[in-house]
Amino acid sequence: KILILDFGSQYTQLIARRVRELNVYCEIHPFNKYPGLDETVKGVILSGSPFSVRDKNAPVPDLSKIKGKLPLLGVCYGAQYLAQNYGGLVEASDSREYGRANMKYIDHESELFREIEVDSQVWMSHGDTIMKLPEDFRIIGSTSDVEVAAYQIEEETTFGIQFHPEVYHTTQGLQILNNFVVDVCGCRRDWTPASFVEETVEGLKKQLGDDKVVLGLSGGVDSSVAAMLLHKAIGTQLTCIFVDNGLLRKHEYENVLDSYKHMGLNVIGVDAKDLFLGELNGVSDPEKKRKIIGRVFIEVFDSEAKKIPGVKWLAQGTIYPDVIESVSVNGPSATIKSHHNVGGLPEKMHLKVVEPLKLLFKDEVRRVGHEMKISPTILGRHPFPGPGLAIRILGEITPEKVALLQEVDHIFIEGLRKHDLYDQVWQAGAMLLPVQSVGVMGDERTYESVVSLRAVTSTDGMTADWVHLPYEFLGKISSEIINRVRGVNRVVYDISSKPPATIEWE
Ligand code: XMP
């Protein structure tokens, strides 16, 4: 495997995803807190950083067990750190070093640049520049603005590159990473979905033995893939629980339950609609809604799980971005992201936790699901929030409002599917606004509800942009909603990005 030492760059995870695209396993660790280097570690990559190496509190790694002993690639900050620390000079640059640049010199003797073309486009993003290299450092690549765009240390497999090989705009970036991890480090490209499934299933068998495991299914990608892996490993020792909280999409409960049963999973469906809606009665504060739904979910899940005699483990669909320890930008101290879980379930249930996906990025979860032949309808589903339609009904929730919004949402989502737009959208849904407006239908005045449609593109939900859905499509959906859903006389389309808005309205 490859270790990636993180100095807090926004691109660190991208380096990891690129290396994994090459079917080579890698892990991200904070620069000041990485695990011991056993023989499985074939090489190390140093990430970029929001810091300048000239800052007083710039992060300083301990590379004594790495440099000169293992292949080492410094990217941006990593490259500058090596150059400065071993006797070179790094200064604030006065020429343009952001964005597109083209290589004008490449040393093809260096393994790092095998098959990289002179003139190849690279992506720069740095305020400092390496003015002078230490004596045994040799330039292996330059652009017209940056002489030291890449270097290698003589007699070592230590490299530094000033540009970012991990970003899409560095057109031969993947080739450079391939040259490093395969040619220089000697990694085999055998980290594939198939090998992951095989190794994980073996590992789970050993870890779980004859123990029983319970897992909460949500209909989403992560819990479905986690369930399938466990199912392959321990078969009927796994019990899945799927709760209908009354806030799911139209027919969602029946459809998803059905597809899970087709996958061979042992699923208990729990109809808790009345319980959830009862507890939510009269509540309009968004945070209170979330808390109530979280609490009731735990109660329902816990009471179902208690019916499984001798259950020892709780399985969760936690994925890699939830567990990476991130380096804080406000200082070189490491802070830990709060681990994602089903609202405090493990603490409450005194069960051991098993997380079969915690090494995977989201796109890898999908590839693993595909490998296990999970249906594309489950793997390609839009994300849907745990509190469901509760946070899309602004104000108090009633069964009538839920039913109304389910109809609206159904027309919208099915419309997206019918017009081949579903897969171009990251998430979509409808909000029921707490306003009535005047309309006219036939000769009658109406005074009814407004719904807002929302469709966004995103990669992780942290930032998002509204989708430019075709006007014709929006027009068609709007008429269909107003004609078919009693109680709605006006449809609007949300054209806000996140930030400053959020995806959900509550
Ligand atoms: P926002 O509205 O914060 O949403 O832009 C970002 C993503 O998170 C989802 N979301 C939630 N998911 N429980 C969840 O499981 C929640 O309380 C919750 N709130 C928002 C939202 O659907 C979007 O994908």
Question: What are the tens digits of pLDDT across the range 221-248?
Answer: 999 999 999 999 999 999 999 999 999 9
pLDDT of residue 334: 37
Q: What is the mean pLDDT of residues 30-46?
A: 95
Please give the distance, rounded to the nearest whole angstrom, from the Cα atom of residue 391 to the centre of ligand 1.
9
| H-assigned helices in 281-398 | 286-305, 320-323, 345-349, 362-371, 376-379
Q: Over 90: is that where the pLDDT of 10 sits? A: no
Any ligand 1 atom below 6 A from CB of 427 = yes
Atom of ligand 1 nearest to the CA of 505: 2
Any ligand 1 atom below 6 A from CB of 248 = no
Any ligand 1 atom below 6 A from CB of 385 = yes
pLDDT of residue 236: 96
Cα–Cα separations (whole angstroms), residue 478 to 167, 403, 408, 491? 40, 18, 9, 6
Catalytic residue among 76, 185, 187, 240: 76
Q: Tell me: the pLDDT tens digits for 360-414?
A: 999 999 999 999 999 999 999 999 999 999 999 999 999 999 999 999 999 999 9
* ipTM reported for the complex, 2 dp: 0.98
Q: What is the mean pLDDT of residues 419-429?
A: 97
Domains in the chain: ranges and CATH: 2-184 (3.40.50.880), 193-378 (3.40.50.620), 398-493 (3.30.300.10)
- CA neighbours closer than 13 Å in the CB half-sphere of residue 295: 9
Q: Tell me: the pLDDT tens digits for 265-304?
A: 999 999 999 999 999 999 999 999 999 999 999 999 999 9
3-class state of residue 67 by DSSP: strand
Alpha-carbon span 377 to 390, nearest angstrom: 24
Please give the distance, rounded to the nearest whole angstrom, from the Cα atom of residue 245 to the centre of ligand 1.
17
3-class state of residue 435 by DSSP: strand
Q: What is the mean pLDDT of residues 193-212?
A: 98
Any ligand 1 atom below 6 A from CB of 134 = no
Residue 228 and residue 317 in contact, taking contact as beta carbons nearer than 8 Å: no
Q: Tell me: the pLDDT tens digits for 312-353?
A: 999 999 999 888 887 765 544 333 323 333 456 767 778 999
